[in-house]
Structure formats: structure tokens, C-alpha cells
Amino acid sequence: MIREALIPDAKAIHKLLVTYAKDGMMLPRSLAEIYENIRDFYVFDRDGEVLGTVCLHICWEDLAEVRSLAVSQACAGQGIGRQLVEACLIEARRLGLKRVFALTYKPVFFAKLGFAEIEKSELPHKIWGDCLKCAKFPDCDETALAIAL
């Protein structure tokens, strides 16, 4: 089931994110960052085990980012990622946001959910603060996609 993350979930979230960050598939998030932003995270919980996570990060009055999407490799292809992103979109609509974006190596996944490719230059400079932490900056090879709500 999808639910808002709780403090006891932070270590399991961190473990999932580290798996993908080691492979260069996403930016690393420290455990401290996860605790500080726990209210932004959702988890997919099956029988008390966190098998997936995602973060809805508010960037501006009308814009948010879906980030830190990770699903246990043992559960890949079961629709958990889709459910997590859909939970973010529901929350974004509830908050009155007009657009949600993602930077990803899996553009087809997001396109199936209604996201369309955009130029990274359309994203506010504030977002690039996170990009400065990336080893690939300024030669980003992720695809930017967005969905209008």
C-alpha cells in the first residue's frame, strides 16, 4: 500500500536510494536529508517492509518535482513505481500545483504516465542547485519531462 513516510521509514528509504545512487541512476540523499524532508516522501509498504519510495518536492507556487523514485529491484515491473508517482500527482493536485516535472533516465516510464519531454532550460534556476551536487554537472544526460495538472 502507498502511504506517507514516517520517521521509522527513513533508513529503509535511504537503503533503497543508495542502491540506485551507487549506479549513478539518481543523486545520493544522505540519511540526514531524508529525515529533514520525510514529509515529502511516500513509501510502498507491503507487510511492514518498504519496497519503494518517492519524493514530491515543492519548488515554487505552481511547480513540484517527482524525485528519489526507487523500487526494490526484486519488485521491479510490478507497478509500484507507477503507483508511487500517481500518489505524488494526486497530492500535487490537492495542493493546487499546476505542473510536476521529473529528471530521469527512464523517460518512457514517465511518458506512460502522461509526462511529456521538455527542455531543461524551462526549469527554474532554483532546481539547478541540486544539479550542482551531481558528478555529471554540467553535462547532464537525464531527460526532463513534465505534466500539466
Q: Which domains does the chain have, with CATH numbers?
A: 2-148 (3.40.630.30)
* pLDDT at site 122: 80
The H-or-E segment that residue 78 falls in is none
Q: Please say whether the beta carbons of 40 and 55 come within 8 A.
A: yes
- Sign of the torsion formed by the C-alpha atoms of 140, 82, 32 and 121: positive
* pLDDT at site 14: 98
Cell of 79: 507497478
* pLDDT at site 23: 84
pTM of structure = 0.89
* pLDDT at site 48: 93
Q: Please say whether the beta carbons of 17 and 37 come within 8 A.
A: no
Sites in the chain below the pLDDT cut of 50: none
Q: How far apart are CA 90 and CA 87, in angstroms?
A: 5
Q: Please say whether the beta carbons of 47 and 41 come within 8 A.
A: no
Q: How far apart are CA 79 and CA 143, in angstroms?
A: 21
State the greatest distance between any 2 C-alpha atoms of the chain, in Å, as a whole number: 42
* pLDDT at site 57: 94
Cell of 60: 515554487
* pLDDT at site 120: 79
Residue for grid cell 505542473: 99
